[in-house]
Every structure is written in structure tokens, then in C-alpha cells.
Amino acid sequence: MEETNDLMRQRKDKLNEIRKAGIDPYPHQYAPTHTTENIRVEFEEVTETPDDTNRVTVAGRIMTKRDHGKSSFANLQDSTGQIQIYVRRNDIGAESYSVYRRFDVGDIIGLSGVVFRTRTGELTILADTVELLSKSIRPLPEKWHGLQDKQTRYRQRYADLIMNPEVKEVFVKRTQIVQAIRNMLNEQEFIEVETPVLQPIYGGASARPFTTYHNTLDQSLYLRIANELYLKRLIVGGFDRVYEFSRDFRNEGMDRDHNPEFTMLELYQAYADYLEIMELTENLIAKTVENIHGTTKISYQDQEIDFTPPWRRMTMIESIQEHTDIDPETLSAHEMSTKAKTAGIELDGDESFGEIIAEIFDALVESKLIQPTIIYDYPIEVSPFAKKKPENPELVERFEFFICGMEVGNAFSELNDPIDQRQRFMEQASNLAKGDEEAFMVDEDYLRALEYGMPPTGGLGIGIDRLTMLLTDQYSIRDVILFPQMRPEN
């Protein structure tokens, strides 16, 4: 990593010169009185005449430098923005000024001075003391085009954040989204909990796990693919409303809306069914959107999206009838399978009716659901933790919601019948034996918990990364994850 080019060698030479002049290029502490944002607010009325009452001390990174012989302008960037500084030899003294002239774009400095406006009206700090807080020996990207290369931006997010202020905004918003949701859930008496990331049995979703090993226990452990079964154990234990922002790990492909590690909010509410969770979902999301944007109507990749509740609701079968020429209510499994294959869907041939319906939905309907849409009543075969519909045991009380063609959340009336749950596990176990790598393992301890009795419960999972993509208008999940997964550089 120790690349040497002329630019870095020159900067290291400057570093040594500064040290020889008796100055510590990496001092321990500095005490700014203002951020650049503070200054913009506090000194809005300031005039072109410097007035000693408008004194500030600031710290930040030099982003541009315009030297003019015995004076110099520079732009200083701190965590809140940028401000222009003006340094004159007469004000800071010849010795200080010659040190200042050795400062480079990228250096972090502190300065005290007086806020005024230049002739052109730009808010500026006229410095009377300037000091180096951290010498930068690696040159920043060019000031005008900034850092464009995606590979470098993802691998060196620090450089991306320095150069591209809009990137920082995305991640500030991401935090605001999480905070908004957390505040609303707390107000509704949900309790935030933490459950294991390292799990002896993975479950709660269909995905291949990452496997690791615990030396002392001498056993394999899995990084969680979901925390569903742990949260429901807590419902059994008597927490009636729980949630967790969970980093989950799935050993699957990567693309514009999949990263191997991602964040999911899961919540469970005792005595609720999926209809109540639908309402909760619409309100939670709509209020989050409003909190971030001040309105429930936003634009994503040039599409207008309206989050105002209530959202459109369709059963999965209705959605297939609407968006395809396939009608699951009149066709046999064989006819469905033929239609699906004609539409280019690959099937093994041993899929059940319900599995074919789910395949058709995924392939032909999902991408057409642009406005927030709740799709409900799923085939039982693809929903092993959801409760059957009383009037139709082939379907379960489950819904997912879709926005801009993306699945953003998943919810159901939780299956709390331990006998039924055991049967569903057994079917999964036989699928696992048949080689379905994404089938579930039997979780005897979870069954034991259900045997004690779990109240009727509604549960919900929301993909926080995808929600953030929508609310920050980012096309790729990599742009809402600070350090997206990448192959090694070398």
C-alpha cells in the first residue's frame, strides 16, 4: 500500500521541514468554537468591514487554495460544510505565513479570525492565527471533477466522503430513517432487543448461510440469515412488542439490491394479525417518508411515488390475473407450468401449484409493482412460518409490500400452532435432504418454545437498505452501504 509517487514524496519532504521548524504536524487537541454551519447562521448579517466582535475558531480540511504572494484564500471543509478563509502575511506574521504556504490541499488545520464578507459578498474568515492539526501526505482527487471512479469510491469510502458531499447526505439520511422508525416504535411501546448473530441453527428465511466455527465449543455456527425465531421466542416469553434492527448475512449473489450483509428491521406484536400489521406498515413507512421529506410523495429515479396510506392491496392471485394472461383460478398445475415455461420461467417440473404461483409472481409481476403495493395471501409451500387462512388451507396470512419493483418488506400472522409448525419443519427437512440448499433446518428449541404457547402474533420485516435507497434516490444498494462488499484489490 506504500505507493510512492512524486506528489507523496514532496509532501513527506514538507512534513519533515515542518518538523524541523519545531512544529508538531500531528498535535493532540484543538478547540473550535464554531462549525462552518454555525458561522453561516450566526453571521448572516455580517458586513464587508471586519469587526473584532465577530471572532471564531474553526477546524477543518483545506479543499482548495489560492495563493497570491503575500495573501491567500482557501476553502475549509468541516463536517457541516465549507467556508472561505483569507490569510494575510501582515495579519499572521511572516514566520507563520511561511509555514502556512507549506500547507497543502487536504491538510487539516485550525484557525482563529474574524468573520466578514469579501467584495463579492462571500462569507469569509480573516485569519490571525493558523495552525496545522494533521498533515495530509496523500493527494486528494481533483477539485472540479472530484472522485468519479466507482471502484475507488466504494473501496476508499473515506475519500468519497471527503470529495462528494451528497454521499454524506445519503448516510445522514440513512441514520435519520432508522431513528424515525425507532422513535415511532418506542412511542408504541415496542422494546428494542438484541438477539444472537451467531446461531447454531439458522432459520427464519430461505437463504444459504455463512458458516463459521467456534473453537471452544468445537462446533459450527452460522451467521444469522434472520432473527425471526429468536424474536418470537421473546413473544413466548412475554414481551408483547419487540423489535431489532438486525444485520443479517446471506451467502447469495450480489446485485443492485443485494449485499451479502444487510440490515433488516424485524418487529413482532402479540395479539395482532396480518391485517393490523398492514396498517402498522403503511403508517410506519409513510411517517418515515414524511419525517425525511416533509411529504409522502417522493421521486425515485424519475418516478413519482406516493406513500400516502392506504396502499393498494391485492392478493397474489389477483396480481397475477392483472399483470399476466395466466389465471391460477381456472388453470390446472400442469397448464400453469406450461404457461410459465412459455413465459421463460425455468421450472424443475416437481414444483407444487403454490410454488408455480410464487415463481410466476416473482418473474412476471414483482417488477411491475411501482407504487407501494401490498400483495397478500401467499401459497403455504413458500411460507413455513405463516398461519393458514381459516377458509383456505392452501394459502397463508402473509403479505409482502413492493415499491419500484423491489420487495421492501414481508409480514405474516405468525404460525403459533406447534403441531402444524413441526409438520412444516418436517417438509423443509425433506427438501433439505433432497438438496434444496435454502430449505430450513428443524429447530427443536423453537418448537419447544411454541409448545409452551405463543399468543397470536403479527410480525414484520423491512429491508432498511432498500427503504434507504428509495428515500435517498439511490439506484444501487452499494450507495446506501458505507462499505459495500468487494473482492480484494490484489
Site for RNA in 56-75 (CB under 7 A): 64-71, 73, 75
What track of x and - describes contact with RNA for positions 336 through 375 (by CB under 7 A)?
----------x-----------x---xx------------
Give kind and range of the element (H or E) at residue 396.
strand 392-403
Nearest to 92 by CA among 54, 116, 128, 67: 128
Q: Quick one: 194 or 436, whose CB is closer to RNA? A: 436
Minimum distance between the CB of residue 453 and RNA, rounded to whole angstroms?
24
Nearest to 273 by CA among 281, 263, 264: 281
The answer to whether residues 263 and 247 touch, using CB atoms and an 8 Å cutoff, is yes
Give me the residue label for grid cell 420485516.
461
Considering only 148-156, 182-190, 209-217, 233-241, which stretch makes contact with RNA by CB under 7 A? 148-156
**Of these, 59, 167, 226, 280, which contacts RNA (CB under 7 A)?**
226
Minimum distance between the CB of residue 438 and RNA, rounded to whole angstroms?
6
| Residue 142 is a binding residue for RNA (CB under 7 A) | yes
Give me the residue label for grid cell 400452532.
417
Minimum distance between the CB of residue 217 and RNA, rounded to whole angstroms?
27
Q: Quick one: 276 or 438, whose CB is closer to RNA? A: 438
Q: Quick one: 89 or 323, whose CB is closer to RNA? A: 89
Positions in 149-208 near RNA (CB under 7 A): 149-152, 154, 204-207
Considering only 115-123, 185-193, 230-238, 368-376, which stretch makes contact with RNA by CB under 7 A? 115-123
Q: Cβ atoms within 10 A of the Cβ of 381, count?
A: 19
Q: Quick one: 28 or 145, whose CB is closer to RNA? A: 145
The answer to whether residues 265 and 243 touch, using CB atoms and an 8 Å cutoff, is yes
The answer to whether residues 86 and 71 touch, using CB atoms and an 8 Å cutoff, is yes
Give me the residue label for grid cell 465449543.
217
| Residue 434 is a binding residue for RNA (CB under 7 A) | no
Q: Which residues make Cβ contacts (< 8 Å) with residue 321, sequence separation at least 6? A: 327, 328, 329
Positions in 80-109 near RNA (CB under 7 A): 84, 86, 88-90, 104-105
Q: Quick one: 24 or 48, whose CB is closer to RNA? A: 48
| Residue 417 is a binding residue for RNA (CB under 7 A) | no
Using DSSP's 3-state secondary structure scheme, residue 385 falls into: coil
| DSSP line for 203-235 | -SS-SPPPEEEETTTTEEEEE-S--HHHHHHHH
Q: Quick one: 289 or 358, whose CB is closer to RNA? A: 358
Positions in 277-336 near RNA (CB under 7 A): none
Residue 358 CA to residue 344 CA, distance in Å, equals 15
Give me the residue label for grid cell 473550535.
32
- Residue 431, judged by CB atoms within 10 A of its CB (0-12, 13-18, 19+), counts as middle
Q: Quick one: 3 or 329, whose CB is closer to RNA? A: 3
Give me the residue label for grid cell 430461505.
206
| Residue 258 is a binding residue for RNA (CB under 7 A) | yes
Considering only 24-32, 249-257, 271-279, 297-305, which stretch makes contact with RNA by CB under 7 A? 249-257
The answer to whether residues 59 and 125 touch, using CB atoms and an 8 Å cutoff, is no
The crossing angle, in degrees rounded to 10, of helices 418-433 and 444-452 is 170
Q: Quick one: 53 or 90, whose CB is closer to RNA? A: 90
Give kind and range of the element (H or E) at residue 192.
strand 191-192
- Residue 447, judged by CB atoms within 10 A of its CB (0-12, 13-18, 19+), counts as middle
| Residue 118 is a binding residue for RNA (CB under 7 A) | yes
Minimum distance between the CB of residue 359 and RNA, rounded to whole angstroms?
8
Nearest to 89 by CA among 103, 102, 101: 101
Positions in 435-454 near RNA (CB under 7 A): 438
Considering only 142-150, 275-283, 303-311, 452-460, which stretch makes contact with RNA by CB under 7 A? 142-150
Minimum distance between the CB of residue 143 and RNA, rounded to whole angstroms?
5
Minimum distance between the CB of residue 248 and RNA, rounded to whole angstroms?
8
Minimum distance between the CB of residue 90 and RNA, rounded to whole angstroms?
4
The answer to whether residues 123 and 84 touch, using CB atoms and an 8 Å cutoff, is yes
**Of these, 2, 5, 189, 434, which contacts RNA (CB under 7 A)?**
5
Q: Quick one: 165 or 217, whose CB is closer to RNA? A: 165
Q: Quick one: 258 or 293, whose CB is closer to RNA? A: 258
Using DSSP's 3-state secondary structure scheme, residue 437 falls into: coil
The answer to whether residues 116 and 124 touch, using CB atoms and an 8 Å cutoff, is yes
Minimum distance between the CB of residue 28 and RNA, rounded to whole angstroms?
26
Q: In angstroms, how far is CA 359 from the centroid of its own chain?
A: 28
Q: What is the dihedral of CA 160, 166, 167, 170, to 10 degrees?
A: 170
Q: Quick one: 152 or 212, whose CB is closer to RNA? A: 152
Positions in 261-280 near RNA (CB under 7 A): 264
**Of these, 12, 19, 143, 448, which contacts RNA (CB under 7 A)?**
143
**Of these, 25, 110, 141, 354, which contacts RNA (CB under 7 A)?**
141
| Residue 10 is a binding residue for RNA (CB under 7 A) | yes
